[in-house]
Amino acid sequence: GESVGLHLPTLSVQEGDNSIINCAYSNSASDYFIWYKQESGKGPQFIIDIRSNMDKRQGQRVTVLLNKTVKHLSLQIAATQPGDSAVYFCAEDQMTTDSWGKLQFGAGTQVVVTP
């Protein structure tokens, strides 16, 4: 079946640098994408979302880019801080009747921020 996956399982970033986390999706019908952050022992926390009619969306220190041509999603974190260390998941929603509410999650990327 269709799936969402991540290019890199672990990303090591120096404090203050920018981080880029990548996500490939295979279902061109997907209309809505979300990035979640999960700290150890906690539930996923919403970071930012984007709909398929956009190619870029910015939040506080985060930017999500969507390239529908190559079915690629990325999360950019500016000036990475120690508190950004976590596992980051991308998720997609196909927004069809059969798939309603069924977010498909990638396996996650572990981001480690080093001093």
Partner 1 sequence: NAGVTQTPKFQVLKTGQSMTLQCAQDMNHNSMYWYRQDPGMGLRLIYYSASEGTTDKGEVPNGYNVSRLNKREFSLRLESAAPSQTSVYFCASSGASGGAETQYFGPGTRLLVL
Bridging pattern class, strands 19-25 and 45-51? unpaired
Residue 2 interacts with partner 1 (CB under 8 A): yes or no: no
The footprint of partner 1 on residues 56-75 (CB under 8 A) is none
Which residue, among 70, 81, 90, 69, has the nearest Cα to 21 in the 3D structure?
A: 90
Per CB under 8 A, the list member of 13, 73, 80, 89 interacting with partner 1 is 89
Instruction: Give the Cα separation of 71 and 52 in Å (integer).
Output: 10
Which range, of 11-19, 62-70, 71-79, 91-99, touches partner 1 by CB under 8 A?
A: 91-99
Minimum distance, C-beta of residue 45 to partner 1, in the bound complex (Å): 7
HSE value, Cβ hemisphere, 13 Å, CA-based, for 24: 7
Binding mask 18-37 for partner 1 (x = CB under 8 A): -------------xx-x-x-
- Smaller CB separation from partner 1, 83 or 101: 101
Question: Longest C-alpha distance within the chain, in Å?
Answer: 47
